[in-house]
Structure 1
Amino acid sequence: EICKNGIPAGTQSTVNTGEALTCDNNDIIHISGQLIVKSNTRVRAAGMFVDATGTLTIGTPEEPVRDVHIYLNHQPCTDINSDACKRQGALWSEGTLDIHGTPKTPWTLLQTDAPAGSSTLQVSACDNWSVGDRVVVSATGGEGTRYTNTVYGDNADENFEAEQRTITAVDAGCVVTLDTPLRSRHRG
């Protein structure tokens, strides 16, 4: 079993699409061979250690992954200086770590102003954005129309509020629907 015995040198294991690899809370996955993780998978362990002969491959340039969740839990330790304790909750690599995810537009511009109370945004680009993705709408001065009012006026703090939302819909024209209306105005 991968959780207890790791992946010995010269061997390969795969977490295939739709599968989950779940280890006990204290198990650290030790990779001396190769562990391949494909799209739409879940991996849960106390940690992952890739030693000098090991390779952790998550996707490839030809097949980038999508929807991979790796949960690394840190449990209470009796000896906080032990390697086992230090490796909990961490991905530690002395070998090869090769990760290829689906490219997404990392940032974009608002095409139009988004008033307070708006639940949709019109953005310039949204390549591979999908329902469930999180976005941050940066602060743009809110309702302030002059510098002195924006910075020093009543409720000046509200003029500089970045807001995090979850996408509930996105269309081909890059109109993005948000889970919660915006509290502040954001200028396009």
Structure 2
Amino acid sequence: MKVVCSYCHRLLRESPGEAVGVSHGMCPECDAYFAKLWGGLKLGEYLDLLPVPVMVVDGGGRVVAASERLADVLHRPRAELRGLRCGEAMACSRSRLPGGCGKAEHCRECTIRRTVDEVHETGRSVAGARAWVKTDAGRVPVTISARPAQGFVEVTLDEPEALAGALGGHAPPSRR
């Protein structure tokens, strides 16, 4: 008889000589993970469990919460990201123009801004939106996905490597 984790499907034990078949249990890692989820997590703790850099923004594009992975990509403390607009968080040089992020003339063309607005207004997810962030190091390609999240928008940086490199470091490997 084989006993496997019913969540991650890892083999927990095998007893030769017993009945042939598969039974299910829960491994200690999955038990700890689900105990946290079922016990209630803070938003930042939940975001840190996701395998990609992610932030939650309000309808105006202001960061409400961010994962530690995103903070690493952007080379900023996570607490510093809270309250910034997406472009400010991603070091968009245009966010420093008069009016700031979301109000400068270039913002009408910003794929990130338009994606956040669209998801917030329609409630429909957007996957794999190709965008550019104008940084002090030049134009940097980024790919984002966004989905509605209880009145907010969850924005994922799908390919963080280029942005991390432009901002002075390397993105941590994603666990996709």
TM over 0.5: no
More helix by share: 2
Q: TM-score w.r.t. structure 2 length?
A: 0.25
More strand by share: 1
